Structure 1
């Protein structure tokens, strides 16, 4: 005598609800029809498998959302208006899932969201370079196609060029010491790679003296080069002629002079850090 259960007919807006019996028609109580939610975009529409990133769901009739599902997993709603919902994405396997919004009026249409594995950097084309940066370095690994940033330690590289999902090139920034090279995508940031993902900054070599500073035009003389930043020496030149050498320490390189013509030539040392200043060597008859 105190309750009636009915199936609501279709309608729009706010309407009066009345009950009629043989004794007449009751007073009215207002019932409001709510349009079903509809979503039009997800920003971003991809993220890491670990979740935790912020996603904005845009659409219509989103007020009073009771849940936002990423597949079967519920996101955490942090803000909600009629046209936008901000959520913290849950974790998920590396795949595409449907995102839906549910309100008191029903469940929205689905939109795809892509869970991505974090990238991995497993190797570098060169593992040393000048402290001033500016050289081109190729990164090898996996999940690199959507790379948005590359860091050498805390310094950001520039001119990121994606060649494939396993290879990108960048211009190295300036730096010092040994640093870890990482790549960042919507799937996250790489950590220590499976191979050599470390990069060594090398200061330019410096020559302070040659001993002796003269030798025979026929070459074959042992010359001690003293200076600094000589550990990574990869070439020594007498003028334009290459010489055989051995880097003894960061301050000494022993070199065998090549043959040359009578007169002065400039000796230079080259390393991944660049080319040194010149030192004079006198070829004698």
Structure 2
């Protein structure tokens, strides 16, 4: 019984030939030839009784009847269409930049992509690519050197012109963050210094995006800290990848629980011990509106020198990188008259 062909894939190819075509059907074992019209296939392989892989020969544009030749007779015919091959054209690359390490999934848009046999970036083959249609290819970038890389598509019609580019970017580097602490409520403007910071798409405090950020230059970004807690290393994301982290810590608001002593003379000089929590980063101690000298003893204790003032109560507060504490009352007592 002669073989039968039920499908062929793909069903079209360039007039230059060279398209690998898979025929499926029955009774294919022992086939002696595959013909495209009156022309024998460039080559063919009988994979099984139900499948043959063949390579189309060159032919003029138009429909060609494909048959399988067998000692028991020729198969039915199916149509393969020859089309005039055109040089592919790449009109856009998106995204247009990525890290030098490669791995960026890029969509190429243009024309004449059917049957593409290669996609290259500066002459280096894409890690992988898929021809989605005659106007679109998805490719994964290989590793490359920093700078512009010509993106080219090759088909049987030729190779696209060198006028589409992908830009390989160097990974950003962070050297410092100042200040490196913030209240848990966030809102602190942090200056980040480093290199390769242009085109940053995100600044993250831990896993949380900055409330806002501004790229000042290739070496500086200012970012507003979002609310957070504890250690939240900062990273910057650019087309070149994600930077190394720099330390940033959220500090709880300080609290005061006691002043020892809680009263003293109207004259200056009394050493008052402030007891509370989260006092280690104290930057100011005030008695009313007066800032006073102080020493941080521990995270729970600060020693401050009371200033002179009128008799009566005055509010004492501590300010740290976590904010300003609620106040406690210190009372100045006038000396008794003689």
Asked whether the two chains share a fold, i.e. TM above 0.5, the reply is yes
Question: 1:96 and 2:96 equivalent?
Answer: no
The 8 Å contact of residues 130 and 204 in structure 1, kept in 2 or not, is answered as yes
Question: 1:141 and 2:189 equivalent?
Answer: no
Q: How does 1:1-285 map to 2 (within 5 A)?
A: 14=62, 31-75=82-126, 76-110=128-162, 111-192=164-245, 197-285=246-334
Which structure 2 residue ranges, 5 or more long, are not aligned?
A: 1-38, 41-57, 65-79
Distance 1:222 1:32 in 2: 95
Structure with bigger gyration radius: 2
2:10 equivalent in structure 1:
none
The 8 Å contact of residues 48 and 186 in structure 1, kept in 2 or not, is answered as yes
Distance 2:199 2:168 in 1: 13
String of CA shifts for 1:8-59, please: whole Å, max 9, x gaps.
9xx9x5389xxxxxxxxxxxx9753122211100001111000001000000
Q: CA deviation at 1:79?
A: 4.3
Bigger RCO (CA 8 Å, 6+ sep) = 1
TM-score normalised over the length of structure 1? 0.87
String of CA shifts for 1:73-130, please: whole Å, max 9, x gaps.
1111034311100011000011211000001111112212110001011111211111
String of CA shifts for 1:222-242, please: whole Å, max 9, x gaps.
111111111111100000101
Distance 1:44 1:119 in 2: 18
Detail structure 1 runs of 4+ shifted over 2 Å in the superposition: 13-16, 29-32
TM-score normalised over the length of structure 2? 0.74
Which structure 1 residue ranges, 5 or more long, are not aligned?
A: 17-28
The 8 Å contact of residues 65 and 80 in structure 1, kept in 2 or not, is answered as no
The 8 Å contact of residues 183 and 323 in structure 2, kept in 1 or not, is answered as yes
String of CA shifts for 1:132-165, please: whole Å, max 9, x gaps.
1111111101111111111111121121111111
Alignment RMSD: 2.0
Distance 1:153 1:116 in 2: 23
**Secondary structure of the residue that 1:265 maps to in structure 2?**
strand
Q: CA deviation at 1:259?
A: 1.4
